[in-house]
Structure 1
Amino acid sequence: MPLCGSPERESGSPFDSTERAPLHPRDRIDMNGTAAVDWMREQGWHVTHVDQSVLIRVVCERITTPSLVLGRVWSTPMSLQIVPIRTEQELSYVSLPLTGKRSLSIEGTTHALEAPSLFVHPVATPFELHAADSGALLFLGLPSSRVDPWLPQGTQARPLSGAAVYRETLLSAVMAVLSADAPLESPGFGLAASGLQQLALAVLQSAVSQASGKQPPAGAAAAIERIKRKAHDRAYSVARLAHDLDVSTAHLHRLFKPSGSTPGRLLRSERLHIAQELLIGGHANTLELELIADQSGFSSARSLQRALSAQALESLTPPPGL
């Protein structure tokens, strides 16, 4: 679904409080009333309902390259029927709500669409988007060839929630790029665009993984519950877990085999989850990392950093067979 059209600017943008000179790589529109409705129709957004007491307004800015589209859009409350439009670039669009309350209806089901969720736009199925109040969302257009491997066949189109640490990093990076004036042809912008693609895929992969995670093996319920309670203890190990459950480590691994996981992997994943929750909200210095590592069960800050780096690398590598 292409976003934004020819540049047009008005003062008082919801995105900034000061006027800036137009930037070469950016398309920008700021429209009211009928002009906004007509522009949205050109994008495949068909207005179906508006609050008559509120003047329709849409503000949108984007940056476009052959392999990446990114931007943000703000609008007053309204309901839209969105009809996907094929583009020459063969891009798949992902939306991340920033502010405001929205819901989307697709194939007879209605879902809330609010931060921190994300939504991968279906390439062929129309859907309805309802904005209860004014708000903004961020969008990215990524090559479909990069997005499709992360969406298993039959995946239902609905909002997903990915790893918060990746989402916050992606939002900060996109906002920084939108505020910069680097020309599209510069090597620096090319590297930034490549990095944004990777970050977006990391968010998508973590969201799909959480949404389609396999059910825990029946006999492993006690082990999973104990791991969640003990993961913060850096001295806790798989051997200790087996001892607490009065089973051998070999039997413990057999319990997890049907799921394709292991007790060690689950313990590490739970520790990463704790660490990521503690890391949200800002960058951590060395001392803070040591404290977070201690609170999340890692033996050291270096061990925590290695685990986070390994997880990020895994997120950018599609699993075998996809």
Structure 2
Amino acid sequence: MLSETVFRSEDLPRAERFDAWQDLLSRTHAPMRLRSDHAGDFRAHQRLIALGEVSLWPATFQQLIFLRTPKLIRQSDPEYCHISLVIRGGAVVRWDREEAEYGTHDIFVNDSSRPYEISTAAGTIETIGIEVPKAQLGLSWGRAQQVLGHPIPGRQGLGALLAQFVTQVSADSGAYGPADALRLSGILGDLATALIASVTDAEPALQPETRNRTLALGVKAFIRRNLHDPELTPATVAAAHYISTSHLHRLFRTEGTTVASFIRDQRLRAARQDLADEALAATPVHLIAARWGFRDHATFTRAFRAAYGAAPTDYRHRGDVSTRSAG
């Protein structure tokens, strides 16, 4: 399991909650001052997921004003690039004389080395914070900081890819072991770099390795969204991403698999989940197979048995939900 710590304001006496929250955020990101209309009885929840030098912190909290002042920066600057995905609520961010407004499903990038003021909207806000050392980005910070003040949509393009990744890791952190932390950290650094580059027109400056890893993540996300399509093939995947099929095959070969194998394994995994779902117990097996893009029942049955050691019908009826992965 990944290293994770949890903060719940309700675990503390009311008089201590707000100061404890301010201390926690100062350690999570960088020293800051906070103000809130609810300081007398503050409600907040945070999970801090450590991925080496990178960290994720899903959080829910009441209305706040965050202040990072020149004095605080002189006292301590961890040199972090901070990225926030707004799940619910909104905020106004001010740097110097610049101001930008962010709403639900927006992403904003911040800089621990610059003074700022963040004012969240009334009510409860839910975010996923991401802390990435500037040195881990594949771009110079002088170029990267051009993204400050530019709301990035979290429902399209690389913004959606980053949002899906951090949401998945945050929701299912128990599925990853300590050995996965470094890999997840690298993926997150690549996604952050590619996202910033796409906004600042710096994509040509990216290292080829970063471009390829980010492209591979995007391709996999596309495949997962289209598993239901029986016409999903390496050729259609490559065409959707404006690359050659040979380029696509190279991306997967570096990970020790093939495009066709990845598509098949993802379909089998989805079908297995449906077969274990009591709500779908009355759905015929052949319809589940078709739902996930298998053209005929016989092909599905052979592939399922090879992957999980039982025919789909037997797997469903034995009531044994295997934890083995299709790959």
Output the TM-score relative to the length of structure 1: 0.54
Partner deviation per Cα, 1:107-135 (whole Å, 9 max, x = no partner): 13332122333222223222111111211
User: Aligned to 2:88, what secondary structure does the other structure show?
Assistant: coil
Shift of 1:106: 1.9
Partner deviation per Cα, 1:60-89 (whole Å, 9 max, x = no partner): 1111233311121111122222355423xx
> Any stretches of 5+ residues in structure 2 without a counterpart?
205-217, 252-327
Inter-partner Cα distance in structure 1 for 2:144 and 2:106: 21
Inter-partner Cα distance in structure 2 for 1:67 and 1:285: 35
Q: Tell me, yes or no, if structure 1 residue 136 matches structure 2 residue 126.
A: yes
> Which amino acid is 1:197 matched to?
G
- Seen in structure 2, the aligned counterparts of structure 1 residues 304 and 27 have a Cα distance that, compared at 3 Å, is same
Inter-partner Cα distance in structure 1 for 2:181 and 2:44: 27
Inter-partner Cα distance in structure 1 for 2:158 and 2:244: 11
Inter-partner Cα distance in structure 1 for 2:82 and 2:17: 21
Percent of aligned pairs with the same amino acid:
12
> Which amino acid is 1:125 matched to?
R
User: Aligned to 1:119, what secondary structure does the other structure show?
Assistant: strand
Report how many aligned residue pairs link the two structures.
Answer: 216
Inter-partner Cα distance in structure 1 for 2:153 and 2:231: 22
Structure with a larger share of its residues in helix = 2
Moved over 3 A (4+): 82-85, 182-185, 285-290, 299-302, 305-311
| 8 A Cα contact 1:96 1:116, kept in partner | yes
Inter-partner Cα distance in structure 1 for 2:5 and 2:38: 28
Inter-partner Cα distance in structure 1 for 2:120 and 2:3: 29
Q: What is aligned with 2:65?
A: 79
> Any stretches of 5+ residues in structure 1 without a counterpart?
1-22, 214-259, 261-275, 291-298, 314-322
One of 103, 113, 122 as aligned partner of 1:114: 103
Q: What is aligned with 1:285?
A: 227
Q: What is aligned with 1:39?
A: 20
| 8 A Cα contact 1:184 1:190, kept in partner | no
Q: Tell me, yes or no, if structure 1 residue 180 matches structure 2 residue 150.
A: no
- Seen in structure 2, the aligned counterparts of structure 1 residues 151 and 160 have a Cα distance that, compared at 3 Å, is farther
- Seen in structure 2, the aligned counterparts of structure 1 residues 191 and 146 have a Cα distance that, compared at 3 Å, is closer
| 8 A Cα contact 1:150 1:204, kept in partner | no
Output the TM-score relative to the length of structure 2: 0.54
Q: Tell me, yes or no, if structure 1 residue 61 matches structure 2 residue 47.
A: yes
